[in-house]
Amino acid sequence: VHQLGSKTLLLTRSHYRNKRSAPVTATIYGLASGERASLFYKGSLVRAGVADSAGHFKATFSAGRALGKRTIAGYGQFGDIRKGYTKIKVVR
């Protein structure tokens, strides 16, 4: 049994500047092996799954058509205490 405590997760993205509708790859680091993870973009769930044996969760999604800065949020199994954020910018 593993106890999952409070932790700020590291969240990386493929690029800061992305063209419209381009694929964005985001990775959550610092999870426990097999921990459930979810990835939110613009406030909506885009991917959910479990971390691999190294504690990483990787997902690809579309940047969308709207221009501007957007937030990508990653949550662990207990989203209120295990989370991380990063930003991207959608350009023409």
pLDDT of residue 22: 96
The 10s digit of each residue's pLDDT in 24-55 is 999 999 999 999 999 999 999 999 999 999 99
Rounded to an integer, the average pLDDT of 77-89 is 95
47 backbone dihedrals φ, ψ, rounded to 5°? -150, 150
pLDDT of residue 62: 96
The tokens for 12 are 């990386």
Does the model's pTM come out above 0.75? yes
For residue 71, is pLDDT > 90? yes
Helix, strand, coil: what percent of the chain each, to 5? 0, 60, 40
For residue 3, is pLDDT > 90? no
Question: Phi/psi class of residue 34: alpha, beta or left (left: φ > 0; alpha: ψ in -120 to 50)?
Answer: left
